[in-house]
Structure 1
Amino acid sequence: MTPTIPGFEYRRVAVDGGVALNVAVGGAGRPVVLLHGFPQTHLMWRHVAADLAAEHTVIVPDLRGYGGSDKPAADYSKRTMAADVVALATELGHDRFALAGHDRGALVAFRTGLDHPGRVSHLAILDVLPTLDMWDVLHGASAAVAFHLYLMAQPPGLPERMIAGSAEEFFGYFLDQWGADPDAIPADVRAEYLRACAAAVPSIVADYRASAGVDVEHDTADRAAGRTLAMPVTVVQQDWGAALGFDAAGLWRAWAPDLRHVTTTAGHFMAEADPAAIAAELRDLLRR
């Protein structure tokens, strides 16, 4: 049986372009949208979502191209994926919502905040840098920690074939290497992540390929125009700067004037390894 978030209702919601997203909705109150990362699905938020549902309407979709959502052949710019989020909230009856994203979902959340500032009341980012800054700091030997970014940035064909040929090993590698607590992702959830990712190789690669192309163009234009995030922002991430020699908080502050920047030792999969701390950070953010 496919794991679910207990107590949440599942539905499919059509967004722009006829793409349907798989989404879990639970709780009642001010809405909070939670966007998952790689190589995961909406299930990564299962603990945090259940916690927040005591006070909030919690909306937990699979991103386009991932999990149970539709997987169109093209258009995985974060601008398009951000429009999905706004359309989803609108379809569910919410004009304004708080938004949190992890990893790939954090890039979508970042773009949503920039493109739709009137819709996003508060923004939380987990363990990522903005795309433009990510490419700036990952160079030389330090780029080895992100080899998958370079692999999936290649033209269509080879990356898809290579990953599909060893999908379980490829996606399982990141689940093993990036986690601080091997017990944070139980066997049934891990199996669902691997199954879902193996079924979505072309769209996952397309998502990453966009981050080496059109997403850079959008970030570059925003930086040149001096656009920043207008809402309160909390960033929680591992201490990448100390390891790779850059000021992560400073990079984020250039985009988010109203910033709380926090480091964690819970590893990349922090919402599963330390959900109480992440839920507490989100509640603190919503009080700002």
Structure 2
Amino acid sequence: MPEKLIGADPEFWLSSAILRMSGGNDFDPGARAEYSRCFSDPATIAASCADYRAAATVDLEHDDATALTAAKITCPTLVLWGDRGLVGHHYNVLDVWREYANDVRGMGLPAGHFIAEEAPGETHAALRDFLG
């Protein structure tokens, strides 16, 4: 059903999703145009819906199973999130990631769901500083 609803008017859906999920930030016009281009393709819509479905179902099962047996990530790990989004409001992100990795660094950025699109300068700076 989501594929049909989104596919009926991809521009309306994109505008609604961006408004609802962003931290009140506008996208760079080039990034917004690329989203529009991609979501004009039914295959992109289907892949996006499949990704969100998996995140709410089988990904959680796989995470739980892996957490019991997997070794922690040993390389330095950068974690970025939107401090105006769901993750920033509901989780202590660094504490969550410390369950999976030994050397966790990161920060919330002034964004909602789309950190690279909403805060491109801050995202770039964080990556540049991390990669040194």
TM (norm. structure 1) is 0.39
Task: Read off the aligned partner of 1:220 and give its amino acid letter.
Answer: D
2:128 counterpart of 1:286: no
Q: Does 1:276 align with 2:121?
A: yes
Bigger RCO of structures 1 and 2 (CA < 8 A, at least 6 apart): 2
Is the 8 Å Cα contact of residues 180 and 268 (structure 1) preserved in structure 2? Answer: no
**Shift in CA distance, 281/251, structure 1 to aligned 2, threshold 3 Å:** same
Q: What is the deviation of 1:242? A: 6.5
Alignment equivalent of 1:233, drawn from 77, 98, 104: 77
Change (3 A) 1:169 1:270: same
> Mind listing any 5+ residue stretches in structure 2 that lack a counterpart?
none
Give the total of aligned pairs: 127
Q: Secondary structure of the residue that 2:36 maps to in structure 1?
A: helix
2:19 maps to which residue?
Answer: 176
* Residue pair 2:110, 2:119 contacting (<8 A) in 1 also: no
Query: What is the deviation of 1:258?
Result: 0.2
Distance 2:33 2:131 in 1: 33
Instruction: Work out whether residues 82 and 88 of structure 2, in 8 Å CA contact, stay in contact via their aligned partners in 1.
Output: no
Query: Does residue 162 of the first structure (1) align with residue 39 of the second (2)?
Result: no
Does residue 260 (structure 1) correspond to residue 102 (structure 2)? The answer is no
2:68 pairs with one of 224, 227, 231: 224
Q: Does 1:243 align with 2:89?
A: yes
Q: 1:197 to 1:255 in 2, by over 3 A?
A: same
Structure 1: segments with no counterpart, 5+ residues: 1-157
Measured at CA, do residues 163 and 267 of structure 1 come closer, stay the same or move farther in structure 2, by a change above 3 Å? closer
Structure number having the greater strand percentage:
1
CA distance in 2, matches of 1:276, 1:196: 23
Q: Are residue 210 (structure 1) and residue 54 (structure 2) matched?
A: yes
Instruction: Find the aligned partners of 2:87 and 2:19 in 1 and give their Cα distance.
Output: 22
Question: Could you tell me the TM-score, scaled by structure 2's length?
Answer: 0.75
Structure-1 separation of matches of 2:40 and 2:18: 14
1:248 to 1:160, Cα distance in 2 relative to 1, 3 A = same
* Cα drift, residue 172 of structure 1: 1.8
Change over 3 Å in CA distance of 1:265–1:212 after alignment to 2: closer
> What whole-Å deviation, never above 9, does each CA across 1:40-65 have from its counterpart, x for those lacking one?
xxxxxxxxxxxxxxxxxxxxxxxxxx
Q: Percent identical across equivalent pairs?
A: 34
Instruction: Tell me the equivalent position of 1:185.
Output: 28
After superposition, give the CA deviation of every residue in 1:48-83 in whole Å (9 maximum; x if it has no partner): xxxxxxxxxxxxxxxxxxxxxxxxxxxxxxxxxxxx
